[in-house]
Structure 1
Amino acid sequence: MTFHPSDAPSEDAGSVANQTPYSDMPIMGEALAHEDGQAPEPARTGSLWRDGNFLTMWSGQALAQLGSQIAELAIPTLAVILLNASELDVGFLNASAVAAFLLVGLPAGAWVDRMRKRHVMIVADAVRALALAVLPMLWFLGTLEMWHMFVVAAVVGIANVFFDVSYQSLVPSLVPATHIAEANGKLESTAQVAGIAGPAVGGWLVGLITAPFAILATVGTYVVSLVALIFTKDTEHLELRTEKGSLVSDIGEGLRWVFGNRYLKRIVATTAVSNFFSTLSFTLLPIFILRELGLSVANMGLIFSLAGVGGLLGAMSVKFIVARVGEARAILLGAIGFSVTAVLLPVAAMVPSVAFVLLVVQGFISSFTVLVYNITQVTFRQRITPRRLLGRMNASIRFVVWGVMPLSALLAGYLGTEFGVVATMWVGAFGQVVSSLFVVFGPFWATRELPATAEA
């Protein structure tokens, strides 16, 4: 399986349908608080396992992540097998799912910075649940067509934009600055556990009640996430602006913040290029697995699940890896890992007798290294960014690194139709190798630790 380098809502990597255990990393807590004009948060000792408020939010997200994984299997199965979708159809479906990051990604960040992020997430969960519920209803009535799936994917995609930007901006309002890394690690570890169990559960549900009704399980998990967020408390206080800037100026401030940092702009470049080319592969992956290789839906689910094991181990290994090589080199090694292993995907078509094994190995290593990359760079971003800019920072990055994906999905449909699925996989693999060059030739080799503040 092919993974994008960061969200999630772990960021910027994960699947097209959706996309952060380490703790006690040094975080610039007091500097961040003073920088935002807020009083420093009191230091809290102990683990987040004792924080009931965080656990409430975490439990809701854990179930929602499981539901997302079920939908990730059920939706392409519904399109490819039940609706007999073509390569072009799958390209449009994938493009619809992520088009919102290109179309509304930047203003979403500015809007989110003007709203309570937890409230935005609640509304987004409600929209996602209602939109997905339409698919099994139309299938039951015998009227479901591909264009319905395009519309639902687009609506869910818009909700995902607002949810994901708010999700990554909410953590500093839930836990003290010294626990941000631990919170990211726990949230991402849970996402990887869902990645292990979700595809297997999804494959079982698809076989038991068919793909359309398996989607109802995802609807239920989004409802649980919504309820958990209602009972979660946060410490966010909206900034009182004496001079409220325009939407355009707010967006510009977020972009300048991201691309004014020499580390962030290289991370963004690697992630964006990798996402563009991995989307070429991921878009056609269901057709590649189910038609080209002739594997079953259950096998596809198992490949996804075993890849999730790699992601979980990657999340659990981040603290050790960062301690051994440093933050900067952890990002570098992660990028090299997920880019180079992308080549195994088209190679699997050359040796169909061991294709299943190669897909498992590719997914496992790719997921492991993506998680090391994601957790490290997301924590770095959250650490150095003033709270008033968190939404715009995340949205600016998402606009670039996810905004390329709908274009890539459309290109995948065209290339798959004109030149074949396997040829498209080779193009995707080559591009992912190239993506790592932005950090390979950057300052990451010579630097062990990333800056603790915005300076530098």
Structure 2
Amino acid sequence: MVRNPAPKKHLVLRNANFRALWLSSTVGILGGSVTAVALPIIAAVELGASDFAVAALSGMVFLPWLLFGLPVGVVVDRHRRRPVILISLVVRVLLLATLPVAYWLGVLTTVQLFVVSFLTGLAAVYFTLAEAALIPRAVEREELIEGNGLMTGSGASADALGRGLGGWLTSAVGASNSLLVQVAASAASFAAILRLKVEEQVPAAPGKRHIWREMGSGLRYTLSTTPLRVLLLVAALWNLGGNIVVSLLVLLVVRTLGQNGTWLGFLMAATALGGTIGGLTVKWLSGRFGSGVVWRFSMFPAAAGYASLLLMTPGWGMLPGFFGLFLTGLAISMNIVVSTSFRQRVCPPDMMGRLGSATRMVSWGMLAIASLTAGVLASTIGVRGGIATGIVIAVLAPVIASFGPLKGVRHLEGLEPGPAEDTPEDTRGPGTAAHVPAAPPQEETAGRPKDAEALLEK
């Protein structure tokens, strides 16, 4: 009698290290989502800030990526990642706690909001790069899409819950008081990371390695192949246009349509709810249609979801935006999972921090530029005109993905470089062995175009 093999346990259950990262990330996103709703409400309602200030505030958390992403990536690669995460969480707790305290004392100002947002964003740079560098060490290569999908899906669920909760809390207890949720969430993330037992090699002593040279090597590696360049360009365009829309959402809801923070929370939660489903289904869709297909075409419905915001009216007329943002979250989470997994597959382990920092310096740096641009647009052509402008810019991303160099690629995994490719000598520290990626599974390479090698040429 032949017995069926026992079903494989869920990744969260079978892998304690992944579970620690997953818990830390999910709880942290929950708290961060409450803050994402609360901060613009504090500026717009409690402090009466200008339209420019309200729109620009959301970009402060991303500005450190543009200014310090590359050097922080070098620092992360030079140190064990677990202590970096723990220190960044402590700093985040201390900074965020100053906001409700200042509110209670009656001394909270818009300037303090900007400063704290910027510094917590800088702490998040360390946290995010260290966390991303640990994920490939916590799971097997074949589990990367599953792991990233779970991180994205559960993170989006926490995002949805946090934004809905944040919208309610801003009305129930005040926007400033609701920030205490992220203080508690950061403490819970700290506790989860304490249980992380990933083995990390002690990085080689810097010696004669210069930080500028290492920053340059990370940026060169990010731009070293056609697939990496195209993925970066598409992400940058999408983030520029999409975050113009997101930065103007609070002004559209609170000032143009006259709705309260509860509706704002619901709309933001819709994006996150869609992201949950997208993160949990992307593995199946990638297997069915190919990760390249998912990456190319997911952004078209996402742009249509943003366009639905222009149809909103007060009251029940807010529903088109709710369903539209759900669609946006669903599609974009799929796009993020497949592109992130591809980068993690091709990147040498000792380059993870620098690749992540260089990639996010460009793509997430666009989020900061978008917020400042949104503030200018709101002050010149109005909120709705600014949203329409953002949508036009965002649509350029799927157009380039669909008609650019990767238009015929069905499986991004099929573009993974071979042992001798894409690991220039100056991207490796002294004594570091060359990165030799494993050959893609046969079923993944079946969709590789005949000229895939040409796409990998520098």
Same fold by TM (over 0.5)? yes
Superposition pairs of residues 53-452 of structure 1, within 5 angstroms: 53-240=17-204, 244-348=208-312, 355-450=317-412, 451=414
Judged with a 3 Å threshold, the aligned counterparts in structure 2 of structure 1 residues 452 and 424 are, in CA distance, closer, same or farther, namely closer
Structure 2: 5+ residue stretches without partners: 1-7, 419-455
Kept in 1, the 8 Å contact 2:79–2:203? The answer is no
RMSD: 1.8
Judged with a 3 Å threshold, the aligned counterparts in structure 2 of structure 1 residues 242 and 192 are, in CA distance, closer, same or farther, namely closer
Partner-residue secondary structure (3-state), 2:78: coil
Partner-residue secondary structure (3-state), 1:454: coil
- CA drift of 1:296 comes to 2.1
Kept in 1, the 8 Å contact 2:89–2:186? The answer is yes
Q: Name 1:454's counterpart in structure 2.
A: 417
- CA drift of 1:403 comes to 1.4
- CA drift of 1:425 comes to 0.9
Q: Which amino acid aligns with 1:240?
A: A
- CA drift of 1:289 comes to 0.7
Partner-residue secondary structure (3-state), 2:404: coil
Partner-residue secondary structure (3-state), 2:259: coil
Greater relative contact order, per chain length (Cα 8 Å cut-off, separation 6+): 1
Partners of 2:219 and 2:267 in 1: how far apart? 38
Aligned length: 410
Q: Which amino acid aligns with 2:417?
A: A
Which TM-score applies when normalising by structure 1?
0.86
Judged with a 3 Å threshold, the aligned counterparts in structure 2 of structure 1 residues 244 and 385 are, in CA distance, closer, same or farther, namely farther
Q: Which amino acid aligns with 1:221?
A: A
- CA drift of 1:268 comes to 0.8
- In our comparison, the structure showing a higher alpha carbon Rg is 2
Judged with a 3 Å threshold, the aligned counterparts in structure 2 of structure 1 residues 251 and 357 are, in CA distance, closer, same or farther, namely same
Structure 1: 5+ residue stretches without partners: 1-44
Kept in 2, the 8 Å contact 1:329–1:444? The answer is no
Kept in 1, the 8 Å contact 2:305–2:326? The answer is no
Partners of 1:266 and 1:70 in 2: how far apart? 33
Q: Which amino acid aligns with 2:137?
A: S
Kept in 2, the 8 Å contact 1:121–1:166? The answer is yes
Partners of 2:206 and 2:163 in 1: how far apart? 50
Partner-residue secondary structure (3-state), 2:215: helix
- CA drift of 1:214 comes to 0.8
Partners of 1:79 and 1:345 in 2: how far apart? 22
Judged with a 3 Å threshold, the aligned counterparts in structure 2 of structure 1 residues 258 and 405 are, in CA distance, closer, same or farther, namely same
- CA drift of 1:295 comes to 1.9
Partners of 2:122 and 2:72 in 1: how far apart? 9
- CA drift of 1:353 comes to 6.8
- CA drift of 1:148 comes to 0.7
Identity fraction in percent: 27
Kept in 2, the 8 Å contact 1:383–1:452? The answer is no
Q: Name 1:17's counterpart in structure 2.
A: none
Which TM-score applies when normalising by structure 2?
0.85
- CA drift of 1:411 comes to 2.0
Partners of 2:151 and 2:232 in 1: how far apart? 22
Q: Which amino acid aligns with 1:454?
A: P
Partners of 1:242 and 1:69 in 2: how far apart? 37
Partners of 2:164 and 2:20 in 1: how far apart? 25
- CA drift of 1:438 comes to 2.1
Kept in 2, the 8 Å contact 1:385–1:454? The answer is no
